[in-house]
Structures are given as structure tokens and as C-alpha cells.
Amino acid sequence: VNQILLLLLVLTVCAILYNKVHQVPLALRNETVDLESPEEMEEEIPVVICAAAGRMGAAVAAISSIYSNTEASVLFYIVGLKTTIPHIRKWIENSKLKEIKFKVVEFNPMVLKGKIRQDASRPELLQPLNFVRFYLPLLIQKHEKVIYLDDDVIVQGDIQELYDTKLAPGHAAAFSDDCDLPSTHEMVRSVGMQNTYMGFLDYRKQAIRDLGISPSTCSFNPGVIVANMTEWKHQRITKQLEKWMQRNVEENLYSSTLGGGVATSPMLIVFHGKYSSINPMWHIRHLEQFLQEAKLLHWNGRYKPWDYPSVHTDLWENWFIPDPSGKFKLTRPDS
């Protein structure tokens, strides 16, 4: 009996060892398949865009252009106020954009309380969603790298290329310089636009002079941002931006009477000398040249392609999707 029990014990031990030895390669083999699977390897590209009341058609056209020009997996974070979210959600779900991957994020304007100086000259620049870009890590939690786009853009290239923009170590963001294209200076002079810090900050104020930034320093445009969320949080970028917003409320360091209004100026201060560069063809905003070669067109300024007058509205309308509810309508000469 003892011999039989001993034999059974030996056989049991052998069976256990056999299973373990043969299960390890199986587990590794399954793991390898998963790692090599294109679906698993595919990295989502998070794109943040705002859907503001009266401008939702802009967000829809921008999203349409991005989705149509890439094979990449794009996850759209569509940011709106509580009152506008139902409209943009229905627009997407009841149009050909229903196939996109998206999340609707509510922005609470109370975070801006006491941080915005009321300025009647260009009140549209004080809209809460203009400041969404300041709060990216609070709105987008799980991504290391994020693209932020203004709503008045059309993407003609593959958004993967923009996402692949390299950020230097220690840089929380990449922007496109306002002096980056060969003929920018001539175009800027001809249309009266500013492309230096002088156009955004009030150098009569001591707080601005104390920054030690030359007024002739080339500015950048924060309408297109590739951001590193880890660095952004590590450097407390949002807190720095809020500090300058509050100082502006107290000291009027910049205003919407200057070139870039109130959202660009604090970013120029906080990111001075600490940002990487975006390929200039990925942010064409003086829409006189490079229209066909441009990867991204930006109708920055007062004249928007869904309103009248504007320029190159045909390029923009190629991507516009009418509002199924009929609430949003294009403004045209014959309308």
C-alpha cells in the first residue's frame, strides 16, 4: 500500500511539473501575440477642441477634417459648457461623424472667477472656453501627450504627423512661432498684425519690464498646442498661468485691445524660452500663401469662415457638416 501511495505521489508531482513547464511557453506565446497585435499597439491620439455656443459649426468642421485625413485612432475630447453639451452631442450622433470616438467634457467657468479682467473692447475673447487650454491636465487625465486645437482650424494633413512632434526634455508644450514662415514678416506688415511680444504685453508696466523679455521677441500662437501632460503638471503650468491672470486683473498688464487678447498673453510669459517648435506648415494662419501645401489652416482674427465676410470659405465649407437640428446656420451674403 505504501509503495502504491508513493507511486501515486510521484506521478502527481510529475504531472504538476509537466503542466507548469508546458504552460509557461503558452502564457508567453499569448502575451507575445497581444503585444504584436495592431489593435493593442495602436496609440490613441487625444485631440482637445471646444464647442462654444454660436461656434459649434467650427468644431464640427475641424473634427470632420481631422477624421477624414487620417488612419490613426483619434479620440476627440469635445469641451463645452453645461448649456451647450446636449447640442454638440446630438449634432455628432445624428450626422456622419457618429463613427468618431469622442468624449464630451464639461468645463466649469467658476474656475475663472476673479481671474479675468472685464474688457468691453472685444468681449468675445473673454468667453470661458478660450481658457480651456490653461486647464488641460484637469480635463484630460490618462494621456501623456495631448493635442489642443482652436475651433477655427481645418486640418489638411494627417494628424499623426502633428502628434509625432518631438518635445525637448523639460518642455511642457510645443507651439508655432509667429515669425516661422519665410514671408511672414511681409504678410504681417501688410495686414497690420503683430508678431512680437510688444503686440501682447504692456511694456509701460513695471511688472512686464521686470520679466526681462525684449519687446521685439517673436511671439507664438497657442491655437495649436502639442502638450506633455507630465511636464505640464510637474512645472505647475496651470498655476503659473492663473498667477498672471490674477496679476492682470490687478495691474492691467495686457488687454483685448492689444493683438492677442487675454488668453495668449499669459502663455507668452509662462512659456517664454521654454517650448519646442511645431512645423510651420502645421499652423498656417496668414491665409495668403501655402494654402494647398498647408497641413493646418487657422482663421485666427476677427473674420471667421462661418460668418461673413471671410476669406477662403470654400476651403472651410468642404469639411462643414450641416446642423441636423437647424440651429446653427452659416452667414452668407445671400442668406
Tell me, what's the pLDDT at 162?
Answer: 98
> pLDDT band at residue 37, thresholds of 50, 70 and 90?
very low
Sign of CA dihedral 38, 39, 40, 45: positive
Pairwise CA distance, residues 226 & 154, whole Å: 16
- DSSP character string of 229-298: HHHHHHTTHHHHHHHHHHHHHHH----TTSTTTTTHHHHHHHTTT--EE--GGG-B-STTS-TTT-SEEE
Strands (E), 35-172: 45-50, 74-80, 101-106, 145-149, 153-155
Which of residues 130 and 286 earns the better pLDDT score?
130
Where are the strands (E) in 85-232, listed by range?
A: 101-106, 145-149, 153-155, 173-177, 220-228
Four-way CATH pick for 45-181+220-249+263-318: 3.90.550.10, 3.40.50.1100, 3.40.470.10, 3.20.80.10: 3.90.550.10
Counted residue by residue, the chain has a size of 335
CB of 172 closer than 8 Å to CB of 231: yes
Q: What is the pLDDT of residue 117?
A: 80
Measuring CA to CA, which residue among 94, 89, 93, 108 is closest to residue 51?
A: 89
Please state which of the ranges 38-42, 140-144, 218-222 shows the lowest mean pLDDT.
38-42
Query: pLDDT band at residue 96, thresholds of 50, 70 and 90?
Result: very high
185-211 pLDDT per residue, tens = 444 443 344 688 988 999 999 999 999
- What pTM, to 2 d.p., does this model score? 0.84
Secondary structure string (H, E, C) spanning 142-162? CCCEEEEECCCEEECCCHHHH
Boundaries of every domain in the chain: 45-181+220-249+263-318
**Distance (Å, rounded) from C-alpha 139 to C-alpha 142?**
10
296-331 pLDDT tens trace: 999 988 899 999 999 999 999 999 999 999 999 999
